[in-house]
């Protein structure tokens, strides 16, 4: 079953007298599959947000149909499986971060202990532990965006809708959000990411669609859309002029043509992260958001429990190094993660096993050990299948 299915979805806004004025979305056909990170791109006013609002039941379609988890968006039952982060953090200025998350947890009818557990973990995840008891009205825009993200995750959603999630965030926050999206994707969540910041979408999305004038212009996987099929790129260590001319000669002999030769540069984002990361390692104080990694344990780890999740991740890492345990299916891990997992596994095996890891612990505080967040990010995995 598709997570989102839109058929000829149309939204027309009218003026006071009921005359059609703006066709914001025009006969949009859109499918989003389970476990997919889908990017919806387009310039301002292209109909992205209107589409999202129709999927949430905040707007009603003029014609066509939209289905989320096979049901109409106005059905409140499906909302329990959706997390929504709007384009701006529309929060109650008078509530603190903790109260805000507790309130949204109540709307999902979570019990008190569960709300407290999730609130603690989410606040740690978004790096606002020190500012958790300050009214949200005193937050900077970036801090408010982090709360916006946390409230979207409080119900451990199967389908996460993020509208311009990185707007107003510093590069660290942007990277964190992208990490969260990536990890959630690896855990089988479906994510609809709506943005006009192309780099964000490119970094995390499996498939993207570009809208303009309310219509779908193109759709496909990132690789399909971006690959230059008639060019080949070779990356080597630095070559001198003589070696370069020999390479050009060889390429010419092979019937090819050198289009350009240049030294690769870092992206500014990578440089920024390196500099600020160094400052954080020196533990310089900040009144704003702190840098954190990983996602909260409860996100899709519910079926196993926080401690068991860590154990399963360690197992997954061991399989990478030693091969699968007898009678167990190997866990499929992306090659890019293998080195990182090996490193984590080495660190883990050096330590004595924690007493908490040997038996399930129900206390939310005990299950929220910071190391697990690191493990989550580096090892990936957790639940390998989307929730049904």
**Distance in angstroms (rounded) separating the CA atoms of residues 376 and 186:** 11
The residue from 46, 151, 176, 300 that contacts another protein (CB under 8 A) is 151
The answer to the question of residue 16 lying near another protein (CB under 8 A) is yes
The answer to the question of residue 113 lying near another protein (CB under 8 A) is no
Please identify, using beta-carbon distances, which residue of 56 and 131 lies nearer to another protein.
Answer: 56
Task: Give percent helix, percent strand, percent coil of the chain, each to the nearest 5.
Answer: 40, 15, 40
Residues comprising the chain, all counted? 388
The residue from 7, 29, 60, 330 that contacts another protein (CB under 8 A) is 60
Contact of 321 with 342, CB cutoff 8 Å: yes
The answer to the question of residue 109 lying near another protein (CB under 8 A) is yes
Please identify, using beta-carbon distances, which residue of 14 and 349 lies nearer to another protein.
Answer: 14
**Distance in angstroms (rounded) separating the CA atoms of residues 53 and 371:** 37
The residue from 4, 32, 51, 53 that contacts another protein (CB under 8 A) is 53
Q: Which stretch binds another protein (CB under 8 A): 34-42, 70-78, 201-209, 324-332?
A: 70-78
Please identify, using beta-carbon distances, which residue of 79 and 175 lies nearer to another protein.
Answer: 79
CA angle, residues 109, 115, 118, in degrees to nearest 5: 125
- CA 185, distance to chain mean position in Å, is 7
Please identify, using beta-carbon distances, which residue of 38 and 159 lies nearer to another protein.
Answer: 159
Tokens of 97: 């971060």
Minimum CB–partner distance for residue 278 and another protein (Å): 37
Site for another protein (CB under 8 A): how many residues? 44
Minimum CB–partner distance for residue 262 and another protein (Å): 46
Minimum CB–partner distance for residue 87 and another protein (Å): 9
Give the per-residue contact string, 188-207, with another protein (x = CB under 8 A; - = no): --------------------
Minimum CB–partner distance for residue 22 and another protein (Å): 5
The answer to the question of residue 12 lying near another protein (CB under 8 A) is yes
The answer to the question of residue 95 lying near another protein (CB under 8 A) is yes
The answer to the question of residue 119 lying near another protein (CB under 8 A) is no
Tokens of 234: 């070779």
Nearest alpha carbon to residue 46 among 148, 178, 159, 164: 164
Burial code (b: 16+ CB inside 10 Å, e: under 16) for 58-95 equals ebebbebebbbbeeebeeeebbebbbbbbbebebeeeb
The answer to the question of residue 22 lying near another protein (CB under 8 A) is yes
**Distance in angstroms (rounded) separating the CA atoms of residues 72 and 384:** 28
CB contact set of 168 (below 8 Å; sequence gap of 6+): 88, 141, 142, 144, 145
**Distance in angstroms (rounded) separating the CA atoms of residues 253 and 310:** 55
Residue ranges in the chain assigned as alpha helix (H): 48-56, 97-107, 112-125, 141-153, 171-186, 198-204, 222-226, 241-253, 268-281, 298-301, 306-322, 335-350, 355-358, 370-379
The answer to the question of residue 88 lying near another protein (CB under 8 A) is yes
The answer to the question of residue 59 lying near another protein (CB under 8 A) is yes
The answer to the question of residue 84 lying near another protein (CB under 8 A) is yes
The answer to the question of residue 86 lying near another protein (CB under 8 A) is yes
Contacting residues toward another protein, per CB under 8 A:
11-16, 18, 21-22, 53, 56-62, 72, 74-80, 82, 84, 86, 88, 90-92, 94-95, 99, 103-104, 106-109, 135, 151, 155
């Amino acid at each position: 079953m598709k997570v989102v299915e839109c058929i000829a979805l149309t939204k027309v806004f009218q003026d006071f007298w009921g005359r059609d004025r703006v066709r914001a979305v025009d006969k949009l056909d859109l499918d989003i599959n389970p476990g997919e990170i889908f990017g919806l791109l387009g310039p301002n006013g292209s109909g992205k947000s209107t589409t999202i609002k129709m999927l949430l039941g905040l707007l009603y379609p003029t014609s066509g149909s939209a289905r989320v988890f096979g049901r109409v968006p106005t059905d409140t039952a499906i909302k329990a499986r959706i997390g929504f982060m709007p384009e701006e953090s529309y929060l109650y200025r008078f509530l603190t971060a903790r109260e805000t998350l507790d309130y949204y947890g109540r709307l999902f009818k979570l019990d008190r202990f569960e709300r407290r557990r999730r609130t603690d973990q989410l606040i740690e995840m978004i790096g606002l532990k020190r500012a958790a008891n300050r009214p949200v009205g005193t937050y900077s825009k970036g801090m408010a965006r982090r709360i916006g993200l946390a409230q979207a995750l409080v119900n451990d959603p199967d389908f996460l809708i993020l509208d311009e999630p990185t707007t107003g965030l510093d590069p660290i926050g942007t990277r964190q959000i992208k990490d969260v999206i990536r990890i959630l994707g690896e855990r089988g969540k479906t994510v609809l990411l709506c943005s006009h910041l192309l780099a964000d979408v490119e970094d995390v999305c499996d498939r993207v669609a570009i809208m303009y004038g309310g219509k779908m212009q193109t759709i496909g996987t990132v690789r399909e859309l971006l690959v230059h099929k008639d060019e080949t790129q070779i990356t080597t260590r630095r070559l001198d002029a003589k070696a370069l001319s020999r390479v050009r000669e060889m390429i010419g002999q092979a019937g090819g043509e050198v289009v350009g030769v240049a030294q690769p540069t870092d992206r500014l984002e990578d440089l920024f992260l390196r500099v600020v990361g160094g400052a954080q390692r020196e533990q310089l104080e900040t009144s704003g958001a702190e840098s954190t990694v990983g996602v909260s344990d409860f996100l899709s780890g519910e079926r196993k429990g926080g401690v068991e999740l860590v154990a399963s991740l360690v197992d997954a890492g061991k399989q990478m190094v030693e091969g699968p345990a007898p009678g167990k299916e190997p866990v499929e891990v992306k090659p890019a993660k293998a080195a990182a997992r090996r490193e984590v596994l080495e660190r883990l095996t050096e330590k004595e096993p924690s007493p908490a890891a040997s038996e399930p612990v129900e206390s939310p505080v005990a299950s929220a050990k910071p190391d697990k967040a690191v493990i989550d990010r580096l090892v990936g995995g957790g639940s390998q299948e989307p929730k049904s």
